[in-house]
A and B are shown apart, each in its own frame.
Chain A
């Protein structure tokens, strides 16, 4: 009978309460020791030739699930990664940034005359930032402007008439504009997103509640809800590289040097010289957001309104949009 056995426990199994408390405290301290000790960044102890890194041997390897990531190497300490120098941050009243006369104001100038539409910046961004499948921090849309006109010597034959295409392809790299008046930062209910004094707009993934207001508030659709972290996510200008004196990954990889990154407050920087010498536009100036990504050689039609009668989007990443239904 089990009840009889439970009533007569074996004497050998008994131990004193004091022993149990001491053992428990020792075990608890032992287990929490890695958390109590100061943590330093260190590489995980995985040899580069590990089968974990071989996609054939490790089928669960999907990019962001990198087995070489060590929990204790500081990769998720966002306060340190996003703002190592503790620059002042702003959640509203962005005019105070100008009044503070910051040393640096990071901007990007994109020379569309040099963009060949190779999409390598998209790949570099994905690789650098572990951007999950299906979402993008930067992307390159391809527009076709112009029209098909009748021409007796044209190479297009429709119903016996000949036509010629007077069109021009435009590759338009798009990313977060790091606006000087960012509506996405203003409307964040928990101040999880902010603008650094050097102009970079960032999201703290430890604070974001994922309500999606900033995603809806961005006129450029530069924000998205990250399907892995379940928080708002966006281009950071590769802030961890910029803070170390490097260029953003998309700028480093750009084959035609169409993307130029630099400090607009330095009059001798390449971006300042480009902006001083070439006409440039920003996307959707009508929203009053004061974007800090400037385009050289972009048609004003593309900058202001996506109207299929003026220009046709021949390639885009918007796979959920049904382009058979014309907006106008």
Chain B
């Protein structure tokens, strides 16, 4: 039997690699995009109504993928059922994963059903061929479109969205707490971890929805269909959430990067890793620099109303939030627990826990989004096209 030690030589390692970096990243996108989609329902912000269907599609796809990342990172992924049969609740933060994730998937499926129900009925009546069969099946037999049924459906959607926002906070808050609960890692053991993760999740979710709206609607429907007023309102929302995120980053820096205000090992680790160490550019340049640049870009009405400007701002935010996840997950593990110096890490290109796996996970996400765009009635012009051209 050939020896398969991989990178497991020596005592100190980065045990959680790049897949655990994208795990909070994906779940943050889920939580953020769900909250954006729920704005029109829960808070009555009718101007965000056109986003609701797209947000439901993105949320469902990324939610299914979010479980793949930690599964691919676990060394014994075939034993995932143990998480359901013997979860260590409430003592282990990760023991909550199956409960929250399963409820969230069920909720996202229910939301997808109700949000597309009326259009499914429309297509079931007017389309032909397999499309009629498919959309008739998607209605699950409830084909009542009377005003009373519509009011009832709206009430269900409001309840689902409100419960979903709570779940979004729980889903992402508990991931922050997975890191915050590990007192052995000085840079993780921090009460700020939960709010920091939740706020950056909302920031990245809004940015993703701007990007998805501009690219999907602008690319698959028409450029004129992109409502720049809606993009501007999203950019306004983005500005305020980035402001809160940067404030929390500042508090985090004061509690970890200033020698007088923090414990010795925390300061030593922060100083060695982020101030002249291997992740200096990742922290100051990508995480904080890109986020600040994005916030400054949102100040200009010209950028807010421009499709390109909003997309570039959103890309900056998405890169910045990815860098934040990387700095948290990898940076926290670069500080050794029992020895001196720093642990070295660079993600492998191929193999287990590598860039290849990450690309695969995102490819599945894009596939799921594409499948949903083809099989769910998300846009009025596409619905009209399907009614005319299906056979």
Answer yes or no: are A and B bound together in one complex: yes
In the complex, identify which listed stretch (A30-38, A96-104, A134-142) lies at the interface while the others stay far away.
A134-142
Contact B9 A220 (CB under 8 A): no
Write the nearest CB–CB distance from A221 to chain B, whole angstroms. Answer: 4
Partner of B272, one of A306, A319, A325: A325
Partner of B344, one of A60, A174, A313, A322: A322
What's the Cα separation between A322 and B12 when bound, in Å? 10
Chief secondary structure at chain A's binding surface = loop
**B340 sits at the interface (CB 8 A):** yes
Known: A321-B340, A321-B344. A186 touches B16 (CB 8 A): no
Write the nearest CB–CB distance from A188 to chain B, whole angstroms. Answer: 6
8 A Cβ contacts from B226-276 to A: 264-265, 268-269, 271-272
Contact A219 B11 (CB under 8 A): no
Write the nearest CB–CB distance from A320 to chain B, whole angstroms. Answer: 4
**B86 sits at the interface (CB 8 A):** yes
Residues of A within 8 A of B50 (CB): none
Contact A227 B70 (CB under 8 A): no
Contact with A along B315-347 (1 / 0, CB 8 A): 000000000000000000101111111111000
In the complex, identify which listed stretch (A105-113, A202-210, A268-276) lies at the interface while the others stay far away.
A202-210
What's the Cα separation between A145 and B181 when bound, in Å? 33
Number of interface residues of B (CB under 8 A): 57
Contact with B along A203-237 (1 / 0, CB 8 A): 00001111111011111110011011011000000
Write the nearest CB–CB distance from A235 to chain B, whole angstroms. Answer: 13
- Among A211, A219, A307, the one with the most B-chain Cβ atoms within 10 Å of its Cβ is A211
What's the Cα separation between A161 and B178 when bound, in Å? 54
In the complex, identify which listed stretch (B92-100, B156-164, B296-304, B381-389) lies at the interface while the others stay far away.
B92-100
**A46 sits at the interface (CB 8 A):** no
Partner of B83, one of A209, A216, A308: A209
In the complex, identify which listed stretch (B32-40, B182-190, B358-366) lies at the interface while the others stay far away.
B182-190
Residues of A within 8 A of B183 (CB): 183, 217, 219, 287
Contact A318 B79 (CB under 8 A): no
Write the nearest CB–CB distance from B257 to chain A, whole angstroms. Answer: 14
**A317 sits at the interface (CB 8 A):** yes
Residues of A within 8 A of B91 (CB): 91-92, 186-187
Contact A134 B264 (CB under 8 A): no
Residues of A within 8 A of B343 (CB): 320-322
8 A Cβ contacts from A172-213 to B: 174, 183, 186-192, 207-213
**A326 sits at the interface (CB 8 A):** yes
**A6 sits at the interface (CB 8 A):** no
Residues of A within 8 A of B97 (CB): 189
Contact B336 A306 (CB under 8 A): yes
Known: A189-B83, A217-B183, A321-B12. 7 other contacts (CB 8 A): A62-B3, A190-B87, A191-B86, A210-B74, A211-B74, A319-B10, A322-B342
